Amino acid sequence: MTVSLIDRLSGLVGNAFAEAGLDAGFGKVQVSDRPDLAQFQCNGALAAAKQAKQNPRALGEQVAAILEKRDELADVSLAGPGFINLTLTDAYLAGIADEIAGDDRTGAWVSPAPKTLVMDYGGPNVAKPLHVGHLRSAIIGESLKRLMRLAGDDVTGDIHLGDWGKQMGQLLMQVKREMPDLPYFDESFDGPYPAQSPVTLEDLARIYPVASAVCKADKERNDEARRATSDLQAGRPGYRALWQHFVRVSQEGLRREYADLGVTFDLWKGEADAHPFIAPLIEQLEAQDILEESEGARVIRVAREDDKKEIPPLIMISQDGSVLYGSTDLATIMDRKQSLDPDLILYVVDARQSQHFEQVFRASDKMGLFPEERLEHLGFGTINGPDNKPYKTREGDALPLRVLLDQMKAGAIDRVTASLSGKGYSSEELADISAKVGMAALKFADLSNPRTTNYIFDLDKFLSFEGKTGPYLLYATVRIKSVLEKAGSVIDDAPVMIVEAAERDLVLALAGFTPAMQAACDKRMPHILCDHAYTLAQAFSKFYANCRINDEADDGLRQSRLKLAATTGRQLELVLATLGIDVPERM
């Protein structure tokens, strides 16, 4: 399908406007606000009448009279001040269904102007376990990556590991306290350093919170850590070698955690990989006379006259000579521009970091590195606890992702066991189904909320088999599979017939995929795709309840219904896969 149903109808109504001597652009069609009255509507007569200084109702009637002659339309009527209501003939709709069925993408939208993109998501930090905030970045970023690839964009996903900030110096100094005799701290040691890491992932998870607490409480220890950070960045060999171990050990753990989530990155680069770009960046900034001194630091001023709130300068080099979060982000833009030359760079990061990105984007624009219109911060809201505040541990830290995943896993096992045990499933299959149900619950709950809003983590609601949930969608998809299995085979070229209202509605729902996917891509909003999945699953439910499928006596009708079921199943699986949700074989 290259042109969606809604675009075809807009073209058709546009032609009618043109025939009436008006701009074809007024023909834009949308799904009807009143599905009880019509399937589609066009509101263009109102604007057209205003422009042509005519009566909207009269003009609407004129356009409607032209449209009435079209074979595609079963009914054209005028409502209110001049809305044109449209209902398609079943024959035309059946043809649309045949087309969607014949498309191996079941109507997935194709971008007319594919782009090269970098998707920066994940953003975990070395030595720190993933927390709930990283979950949203991973889930939303992964689904946007899949969505845009499906549309035809060339997307490179980059994890952008936090491996270069002040916590690195804090870790180095804490390890030094605990194991002072390691060669990494001996300045006279001339290598080679041990290949084996002196710390494990568990060690890091224990050391990091200690290190950070000490530095917060003790100024001397904090200064020491800051010096260590700047020595590390300046290339002190022992620090670099030990830091390499931190990064490698952390990466191993992170790879496992992301694999459990079904999230993959093309690039495992980190802030440190941008370091070689810092010197050329500074050189360019100096040549452009953009860098300013401020309290011992070197900064880029990014405030603008019309700013409603104050935007502080971006600090490129701190007082003690180290680079910070903003400088590595700016240097990373230089790296990406040189290595990937993207049209756009998208950052899927907590909305609370909006000021940071505003500073980086403006600095990039100001120095002519990469225009700010091609840098987008796709912020997301927080996952909240029952008190509707960001989910925290009792100690007040962000909740570790493990804790949340374990809760979800336990809940899914309970739910699945309650509904499936004693029905002939092996324990391995039950475990597989539970894992998929848990992931679907978590991902769908996250993605179905508009990206920018906060939501409350509500295990029972997310795991429910009814309502707008991941498990419901899995259930609907699996039910389709079982209908098809019972039938044995589906004849692809059997023509679709529309007899019942539920069949009509199912075809309309299938045709809604293309515009939903286009809107989800354009707005970078996966929840629009979630809405479509739910609408489609509900339409199938109604179809299943109202129409005989396998036991329909009329052969042609049975084939038509099987084909509709198969097409719905394929589209639903494609949408779920794009959301990062795996479907079990049966449940």
Residue number with CB closer to ligand ARG (105 or 356): 356
Binds ligand ARG by CB under 6 A, chosen from 14, 44, 60, 123: 123
Binds ligand ARG by CB under 6 A, chosen from 98, 142, 257, 329: 329
- HSE-up (13 A, CA, CB side) for residue 291: 16
Residue number with CB closer to ligand ARG (120 or 257): 120
CB 391 within 8 A of CB 404: yes
Distance CA 117, CA 177 (A): 44
Binds ligand ARG by CB under 6 A, chosen from 265, 347, 444, 540: 347
Q: What is the secondary structure of 354-402 as a DSSP string?
A: HHHHHHHHHHHHHTTSS-GGGEEEEEE-PEE-TTSSB-B-TTSSBPBHH
Cβ atoms within 10 Å of 244's Cβ, excluding its own: 15
Residue number with CB closer to ligand ARG (127 or 349): 349
Burial 55-88 (b: 16+ CB within 10 A, else e): ebbebbebbbebbeebebbbebebeeebbbbbbb
Task: Please state the closest distance from residue 184 (CB atom) to ligand ARG, in A.
Answer: 24
Task: Indicate the residue whose CB is closest to ligand ARG.
Answer: 123
* Choices 120-128, 248-256, 259-267, 569-577 (CB under 6 A): range interacting with ligand ARG: 120-128
Distance CA 165, CA 230 (A): 9
Task: Please state the closest distance from residue 108 (CB atom) to ligand ARG, in A.
Answer: 29
By CB under 6 A, the residues from 138 to 167 that bind ligand ARG are 160, 162
Q: Indicate whether 475 belongs to the interface with ligand ARG (CB under 6 A).
A: no
Residue number with CB closer to ligand ARG (119 or 529): 119
At residue 498, the 3 state secondary structure works out as coil
Q: Indicate whether 120 belongs to the interface with ligand ARG (CB under 6 A).
A: yes
**Is beta strand 40-42 parallel, antiparallel or unpaired with respect to 344-350?**
unpaired
Residue number with CB closer to ligand ARG (266 or 492): 266
Tokens 């269904």 sit on residue = 97
Q: Indicate whether 129 belongs to the interface with ligand ARG (CB under 6 A).
A: no
Query: Residue 312 carries which DSSP code?
Result: P
Task: Please state the closest distance from residue 329 (CB atom) to ligand ARG, in A.
Answer: 5
- Those residues whose C-beta lies under 8 Å from the C-beta of residue 220, and which sit 6 or more positions away, are none
CB 533 within 8 A of CB 583: no
Backbone angles phi, psi at 465, to 5 degrees: -85, 0
Count interface residues toward ligand ARG (CB under 6 A): 8
Residue number with CB closer to ligand ARG (22 or 349): 349
Residue number with CB closer to ligand ARG (98 or 158): 158
* Choices 118-126, 207-215, 508-516, 529-537 (CB under 6 A): range interacting with ligand ARG: 118-126
* Choices 117-125, 313-321, 415-423, 479-487 (CB under 6 A): range interacting with ligand ARG: 117-125
CB 132 within 8 A of CB 399: yes
Q: Indicate whether 125 belongs to the interface with ligand ARG (CB under 6 A).
A: yes
Q: Indicate whether 446 belongs to the interface with ligand ARG (CB under 6 A).
A: no
Residue number with CB closer to ligand ARG (1 or 331): 331
Task: Please state the closest distance from residue 31 (CB atom) to ligand ARG, in A.
Answer: 37
CB 365 within 8 A of CB 372: yes
Binds ligand ARG by CB under 6 A, chosen from 49, 140, 272, 349: 349
Distance CA 283, CA 447 (A): 43
**Binding footprint of ligand ARG on the chain (CB under 6 A):** 120, 123, 125, 160, 162, 329, 347, 349
